[in-house]
Amino acid sequence: MFSPVSERGGAVSKQGSDGVHMISPVSERGGAVSKQGFDGVHMISPISEKEGGGTVVPNRWSVGCCSQHKMAPNVTSTPANVLFNEGKEVPVVEHLPTLKTRSEEVKVVAPYRREIVWRNVTLFVILHLSALYGLYLALTSAKILTSLFAYLLYLCSGLGITAGAHRLWSHRAYKAKWPLKVMLMIFNTLAFQNHVIEWARDHRVHHKFSETDADPHNATRGFFFSHVGWLLVRKHPDVKEKGKGVDVSDLESDPVLAFQKRYYLLLMVIVCFLVPTALPVYLWGESWYNAWYVAALFRYTFTLNMTWLVNSAAHMWGSQPYDKNINPAENLCVAIGAIGEGWHNYHHVFPWDYKAAELGNYRANFTTAFIDFFSRVGWAYDLKTVPMSMVRTRVERTGDGSHEVWGWGDKDLTQEDRDLALIVNRKSQ
């Protein structure tokens, strides 16, 4: 029990049942106040920071024991080097317990309050309005070559995200030689979604803490938040805290990424906006007006939204053949728009697979076709994937039953389906 403090700093001791000294605060003048309870053992006692009648150790707890009383049942000998013994000074223990006062132990955290970043809101509103105007110009006055050029830039910038920041650098699903790294770094800069090190750090946090407050674009907070809203507010404290614990030393030691990070602002302005605007003007006589709104602003905004759909739509709508217990889903529409990143249920189950999908259909996974091509060239190597036996085991254990087959003869077609299938006009043997 706690007892009041002596006004004069002396040690006050009261003996309770069975003679155990209980926890007692220390007086302002340094004296120890103690009560005895059962079994004759002094309990932990806080120490004053002021010098007085007893030995003082700042910001620590003292351990006391009365050798005159019988020991607790689980104590075989009288502890040496105690701070207080019936109010008398004795040597200090060499190793004090690492207990802390209540004020030190409890970390008071203010409840999270969403803080809107109005600068970002303003910029994104202007950007999207400009992109809509760019779409209008693409359909009415821009040259066809300008629109085709914008589409080509969309593919390149998309690959900078999918094949570069995502599969190569975030998940290390394959390795690349320096020419491919440089190409993907330039493509990634064209996409203007922050430098790779920052992008990959956030993405690793997203996978480790998916659908929690530590997830930068937590889909449980709604479609708008996971799509673009997360860029319009201050990060949740959990995102910052968990982000500090994610290892990105492999990225920081990459000279290509270090170069991009160091000169990112300059590279971004040149690669994402100036070059896409200037080339149509000088190569096929497009107007600066059309080139700026179509090849630069519309293309950039469209690429952004295709990437964002992976965070929003692919975490909400679609089948879950590999794990029904998580939100990410298989979404064909997202796969087409994000050049292969829509097979998201598979990807969250097997994030190290360079295909980010089970099936190798290049039409809905252009990124895989890109990586396979450079694998044959020799610029991409150590491609990691998942054996079909492992996929089948996971499908049977956690899938939602929607795992697809391509038709008769597919190795994933169950024996039950084979036995129940009807074969009409069977050719006699």
Q: Return the top range by mean pLDDT from 242-256, 290-304, 341-355, 385-399.
A: 290-304
How crowded is the C-beta side of 298, counted as CA atoms within 13 Å?
A: 23
Q: Return the top range by mean pLDDT from 12-26, 150-164, 410-424.
A: 150-164
- Average the pLDDT over each of 207-211, 266-270, 288-292 and give the range with the smallest value: 207-211
Q: Residues 299-314: pLDDT tens digits?
A: 999 999 999 999 999 9
Which residues, 6+ apart, have CB-to-CB distance to 218 below 8 Å?
Answer: 211, 212, 225, 226, 230, 236
Task: Write out the H or E segment, with its range, that includes residue 20.
Answer: strand 19-22
What is the predicted pLDDT for the residue at 17?
42
Mind giving me the DSSP string for 66-99? -TTSPPPTT--SPPSS-SEETTEE-PPPSS----
- Average the pLDDT over each of 122-131, 249-258, 412-421 and give the range with the smallest value: 412-421
What is the predicted pLDDT for the residue at 284?
97
Domain assignment present for residue 139? The answer is yes
Three-state secondary structure call for residue 15: strand
- State mean pLDDT over 80-95: 45
Q: Give 392's pLDDT tier (boundaries 50, 70, 90).
A: confident
- Say if residue 130's pLDDT is above 80: yes
Q: Give 102's pLDDT tier (boundaries 50, 70, 90).
A: very low
Domain that holds residue 163: 118-398
What is the predicted pLDDT for the residue at 113?
82
Q: Give 93's pLDDT tier (boundaries 50, 70, 90).
A: very low
Domain assignment present for residue 312? The answer is yes
Q: Give 277's pLDDT tier (boundaries 50, 70, 90).
A: very high
Q: Give 394's pLDDT tier (boundaries 50, 70, 90).
A: confident
Do residues 369 and 352 make contact, with C-beta atoms less than 8 angstroms apart? Answer: no
Rg (CA), the chain: 33
Tokens of 185: 């770094």
- Average the pLDDT over each of 125-129, 155-159, 243-247 and give the range with the smallest value: 243-247
* Of residues 399, 396, 370, 364, the one with CA closest to residue 383: 370
**Residue 16 and residue 39: Cα distance in Å, rounded?**
10
Q: What is the pLDDT of the chain when averaged over all its residues?
A: 79
- State mean pLDDT over 266-275: 98
**Other Cβ atoms closer than 10 A to 413:** 14
- Per the structure, the count of domains in the chain is 1
Domain assignment present for residue 55? The answer is no
- Say if residue 46's pLDDT is above 60: no
How crowded is the C-beta side of 62, counted as CA atoms within 13 Å?
A: 34
Tokens of 104: 């030190």
Domain assignment present for residue 369? The answer is yes
Domain assignment present for residue 411? The answer is no
Domain assignment present for residue 77? The answer is no
Domain assignment present for residue 42? The answer is no
**Residue 345 and residue 103: Cα distance in Å, rounded?**
45
More confident residue, 319 or 20: 319
Domain assignment present for residue 68? The answer is no
pTM of the model: 0.71
- Say if residue 387's pLDDT is above 50: yes
Which residues, 6+ apart, have CB-to-CB distance to 70 below 8 Å?
Answer: 19, 39, 40
